A and B are shown apart, each in its own frame.
Chain A
Amino acid sequence: MRAPGAMLETEPGGVVVLNTWDTVLWGVLPYVMVVVLVGGLVWRYRYDQFGWTTRSSQLYESRLLRIASPLFHFGLLAVIAGHFFGLVIPMAWTAAVGMSQEFYHFNALLVGGIAGVGTLGGIALLIYRRRTTGPVFMATTRNDKTMYVVLTAAIVFGLWTTLASVFEGEHGHNYRETVAPWFRSLFIFQPDIAAMAAAPFSFHLHTLVGMALFVIWPFTRLVHAFTAPLHYLFRPYIVYRSRDRETKGRGWSAVGTPDRDTRNR
């Protein structure tokens, strides 16, 4: 990690002054975020299995949900895939397979733009539905409202960075030289703070809101994403379970469990 306050050159010739804020935001906060996210998920998984649900409101209303929810969720899956390509795959790799910078960006903006607009449209429709359908609105907790604000902000700011690149065209910011190296450097515990500090404000905002989203994630209904039922593809259709072994693998004993554990003898 480079020392805060050091003068650093970044291309194309600009000079970035790293201050304490940069260190905190791009050197410390990501790790705090990960600790809260992982710790929060582990805590919630151990102690709040009953609260771990989609809290579906389809029983109240399904006409709008039928359009909005798949639009949002599939859009989001595309957005996640796009983030993976943009952040994890280094520029050198795409160049090595002969993908030009222009081609990459055209694709990223086209696919990313469509996915982003779809996601935003989906969540807008979902929020509209939530606000206007009486029972759905009544089932909305304060926690949900906070979550919707952060989630929508993350999508809006993300879309802003994408659309800004579209309008700026050639002169647009290449996040694969700033945000992406920083993102990858986090995993080797050598955060490239300077690279991230060099990114424009819109990217900073999107990243910060994104981190806020991950921080609140374990404490909202969003946790259902972490139990996406992919194992359904592999499990047998009929599930037998013994009455006596149903408490195994839990963080606590069920009500009615005899008070001494002698099963492991």
Chain B
Amino acid sequence: MRVMAQMGMVMNLDKCIGCHTCSVTCKQAWTNRAGTEYVWFNNVETRPGQGYPRRYEDQDRWYGGWTLNRRGKLALKAGGRVKKLFGIFASPVQPELKDYYEPWTYDYKTLVDAPLGDDFPVARPKSLITGEDTKITWSANWDDNLGGAQDHGHLDPIVEKVRRESEDKIKFAYEQTFMFYLPRICEHCLNPSCMASCPSGAIYKRVEDGIVLVDQDRCRGWRQCVTGCPYKKIYFNHKTGKAEKCTFCYPRVEVGLPTVCSETCVGRLRYLGLFLYDADAVTAAASVTDPQDLYDAQMDVLLDPHDPRVQADARAQGIPEDWLDAARRSPVYALAKVYKVALPLHPEYRTMPMVWYVPPLSPVVDLLRDQGHDGEDAGTLFGAIDALRIPVEYLAELFTAGDTERVTAVLRKLAAMRSFMRGISMGGAPDEAIPESVGMDGQSMYDMYRLMAIAKYSERYVIPTAHLEQAHDLEELGCSLDFDGGPGMQDSAPFGEASGRPVPVAVDTFNALRDRQSSDTLAEGTSLRGRVNLLNWDGRGAPPGLFPDRHTGETDSPDRGPAPDTLAGAEDKS
């Protein structure tokens, strides 16, 4: 067993109102640059819908993710290493810009600059790719709120599949429509197929927190990762020629802040926390034969942070104590494994995704309410979940590789929580029969309610900070005299100043202090060799001494830069 920590996310889909705030703030933070106009690290899809890029879930066309080969071994669906190298000159399966959309801006200047005339000036749409006038035909969320569903609702690959299998119709007529929103980021998988597809080895998973990143210096633009990722969450920056992806806002997460999408979510539906998992068990878990068993296999890979054996192994792997504490308090672990209400997106891709979803009960509740039933009565809700086959089948295709029982079980738990808490709010005694009917007890159902409905900031986000100090061996606590040249010889590096190993700050300061205390003149001219204090520099011109002179030995030349008082005077005059 090799215990590793993984930052994970859970999204409670019942709370998503489809406002796209997460997408917009993410875009402002990460992809508002040239070359990433079409890139949405976070996007919100209306389901049923085609998603972004269009029909990305149709793996018969895109060959994303993993599959089992004839010997039952895990293999990339788009082909093995040799096949990938032969296809490198023109990637055979590659979404084009038209599968995303052609990004555009508007010619706003015309609105201001147009000469006086009879007509209102119009800001024409201009393509951000060609710079020419363009006709807007599609965008990242063109089918938002089922817009145009009569025309292309059937293009949703899952609708296609459910229809094929049930020989039934998902009607897009208003009275029978169901709809929910699916916000998507990179899944930061335990078994990422993008990483396996990268010929350069530029995509890596961080040992400390499992965040999957693209090394921008190592990426050579072979673009196989775009094919490899079944969620199509790796984008090709067409200006830099490098692949880019969601970073899980690692600079924020490292200092204990939630990701931008989580922080700005108005529905407060996102949860962030740690999973502990057994890295040695991942490949075997991803290789189980029946796709519907992948959920259980993934559950088994996640380790119980309360188990003393797991804790001992984690400590042996160097996972710090505060991380173990965070793992015990992790909301994502609670929702995924303790309450078992969060499900992975498309487990059948065999990537072991680490962004989880609580499936929405609201399509069922809405329907009941619209039909005049009590949408909060446990019996009615249970009956409706069983009767409303189509939403359940659709959700099952998304979250459990088509296993409707699992989705039903989650929805029943949500329904039970709803009606159990309604009973308490109405002043009645807690009806223990309701939690028991879904295999829970009153206390744990109440705890689940607190986590999901009250969802305090500190309970939603349990993010341990990064331990940078580990890597640097508790900086400067070691012997600070142990470096090239030794104390007092800091200018003796072989290729002049600043070459060789840097002088520890403590030694540098020690020498400067000694010079200042023991010399007859101001320390400025000699020991700091006329350097300018940048705090006092206004940025105009280059005052003498901005660039330090080379050390010339014993002689103290007069042009070494002025004393601080003359410099200050010069600045005042300028």
Which chain B residue has the least Cβ–Cβ distance from A68? Answer: B90
Give the distance in Å from the alpha carbon of A11 to the alpha carbon of B346 in the complex.
74
Give the distance in Å from the alpha carbon of A230 to the alpha carbon of B84 in the complex.
11
Within 8 A of A (CB), among B32-72: none
**Given A49-B217, A59-B96, A60-B129, A245-B242 contact (CB < 8 Å):** no
**Given A229-B200, A232-B81, A56-B475 contact (CB < 8 Å):** no
Contact of A227 among B91, B220, B236 (CB under 8 A): B220
B468 contacts which chain A residues (CB < 8 A)? Answer: 244, 258
B94 near A62: Cβ-Cβ < 8 Å: yes
Give the distance in Å from the alpha carbon of A74 to the alpha carbon of B87 in the complex.
11
**Given A73-B89, A134-B130, A265-B473, A241-B204 contact (CB < 8 Å):** yes
Is B201 interfacial (CB-CB < 8 Å)? yes
Q: How far is the CB of B275 from chain A (nearest CB, A)?
A: 16
Give the distance in Å from the alpha carbon of A38 to the alpha carbon of B417 in the complex.
69
Within 8 A of A (CB), among B145-204: 191-192, 195-196, 198-201, 203-204
Q: How large is the interface on B (under 10, 10 to 19, 20 to 34, 35 or more residues)?
A: 35 or more
B222 near A258: Cβ-Cβ < 8 Å: no
Give the distance in Å from the alpha carbon of A69 to the alpha carbon of B196 in the complex.
24
Q: List 7 A-B contacts (CB under 8 A).
A: A62-B96, A232-B198, A237-B195, A238-B192, A244-B468, A244-B471, A258-B472
Contact of A59 among B130, B207, B238, B502 (CB under 8 A): B238
B89 near A55: Cβ-Cβ < 8 Å: no
A59 near B97: Cβ-Cβ < 8 Å: yes
Known: A54-B221, A58-B91, A239-B204. 11 other contacts (CB 8 A): A53-B241, A56-B236, A58-B90, A59-B94, A69-B89, A70-B90, A135-B238, A227-B200, A237-B195, A261-B501, A264-B501
**Given A232-B85, A262-B472, A262-B504, A241-B206 contact (CB < 8 Å):** yes
A237 contacts which chain B residues (CB < 8 A)? Answer: 195-196
B471 contacts which chain A residues (CB < 8 A)? Answer: 242-245, 263
Is B529 interfacial (CB-CB < 8 Å)? no
Which chain B residue has the least Cβ–Cβ distance from A55? Answer: B241
**Given A50-B216, A53-B220, A232-B130 contact (CB < 8 Å):** no
Give the distance in Å from the alpha carbon of A243 to the alpha carbon of B465 in the complex.
13
Within 8 A of B (CB), among A55-82: 55-62, 65-67, 69-70, 72-74
Contact of B205 among A224, A238, A250 (CB under 8 A): A238
| Residues in chain A within 8 A of chain B (CB atoms) | 49-50, 52-62, 65-67, 69-70, 72-74, 134-135, 138-139, 224, 227, 229-233, 235, 237-246, 250, 258-265
Within 8 A of A (CB), among B274-293: 282
Give the distance in Å from the alpha carbon of A224 to the alpha carbon of B94 in the complex.
20
Is B218 interfacial (CB-CB < 8 Å)? yes
Give the distance in Å from the alpha carbon of A259 to the alpha carbon of B97 in the complex.
42
Which chain B residue has the least Cβ–Cβ distance from A237? Answer: B196
B240 contacts which chain A residues (CB < 8 A)? Answer: 50, 53
Contact of B466 among A224, A231, A243, A264 (CB under 8 A): A243
A259 near B221: Cβ-Cβ < 8 Å: no
Which chain B residue has the least Cβ–Cβ distance from A224? Answer: B220
A265 near B472: Cβ-Cβ < 8 Å: no
B85 contacts which chain A residues (CB < 8 A)? Answer: 229-230, 232-233
Residue picked from A56, A73, A258, most chain B C-beta under 10 Å: A56
**Given A60-B129, A134-B130, A238-B195, A260-B206 contact (CB < 8 Å):** no
Contact of A60 among B89, B220, B238, B478 (CB under 8 A): B238
B130 near A55: Cβ-Cβ < 8 Å: no
B94 near A265: Cβ-Cβ < 8 Å: no
Give the distance in Å from the alpha carbon of A246 to the alpha carbon of B433 in the complex.
54
A74 contacts which chain B residues (CB < 8 A)? Answer: 89
Q: How far is the CB of B237 from chain A (nearest CB, A)?
A: 9
**Given A53-B219, A53-B240, A69-B90 contact (CB < 8 Å):** yes
Q: How far is the CB of B135 from chain A (nearest CB, A)?
A: 14
B118 contacts which chain A residues (CB < 8 A)? Answer: none
Which chain A residue has the least Cβ–Cβ distance from B94? Answer: A58
Is B132 interfacial (CB-CB < 8 Å)? yes
| Residues in chain B within 8 A of chain A (CB atoms) | 81-82, 84-85, 88-92, 94, 96-97, 129-132, 191-192, 195-196, 198-201, 203-209, 215-223, 236, 238-242, 254, 282, 466, 468, 470-473, 475-476, 478, 482, 501-502, 504-505
Q: Which 4 A-B pairs have the closest CB atoms?
A: A244-B471, A229-B199, A49-B217, A237-B196
Contact of A232 among B199, B282, B482 (CB under 8 A): B199
Give the distance in Å from the alpha carbon of A262 to the alpha carbon of B484 in the complex.
12
**Given A57-B238, A260-B505, A262-B473, A232-B89 contact (CB < 8 Å):** no
A224 contacts which chain B residues (CB < 8 A)? Answer: 220-221
Contact of B207 among A69, A233, A243, A250 (CB under 8 A): A243
A262 near B200: Cβ-Cβ < 8 Å: no
A260 contacts which chain B residues (CB < 8 A)? Answer: 475-476, 502, 504-505
Give the distance in Å from the alpha carbon of A230 to the alpha carbon of B90 in the complex.
17
Residue picked from A74, A134, A239, most chain B C-beta under 10 Å: A239
Give the distance in Å from the alpha carbon of A59 to the alpha carbon of B254 in the complex.
33
Q: How far is the CB of B50 from chain A (nearest CB, A)?
A: 19
Which chain B residue has the least Cβ–Cβ distance from A48? Answer: B217
B84 near A232: Cβ-Cβ < 8 Å: yes
A50 contacts which chain B residues (CB < 8 A)? Answer: 216-217, 240, 242
Give the distance in Å from the alpha carbon of A85 to the alpha carbon of B255 in the complex.
59
B208 near A242: Cβ-Cβ < 8 Å: yes
B482 contacts which chain A residues (CB < 8 A)? Answer: 265
Give the distance in Å from the alpha carbon of A241 to the alpha carbon of B213 in the complex.
10
Residue picked from A65, A72, A227, A244, most chain B C-beta under 10 Å: A244
Which chain A residue has the least Cβ–Cβ distance from B102? Answer: A135
B132 near A134: Cβ-Cβ < 8 Å: yes
Which chain B residue has the least Cβ–Cβ distance from A52? Answer: B220
Q: How far is the CB of A243 from chain B (nearest CB, A)?
A: 5
Give the distance in Å from the alpha carbon of A241 to the alpha carbon of B218 in the complex.
13
Give the distance in Å from the alpha carbon of A144 to the alpha carbon of B198 in the complex.
25
B220 contacts which chain A residues (CB < 8 A)? Answer: 52-54, 224, 227, 229
Contact of B222 among A59, A134, A229, A262 (CB under 8 A): A229
B200 near A232: Cβ-Cβ < 8 Å: yes
B239 contacts which chain A residues (CB < 8 A)? Answer: 139
Which chain B residue has the least Cβ–Cβ distance from A56? Answer: B221
B217 contacts which chain A residues (CB < 8 A)? Answer: 49-50, 52, 250
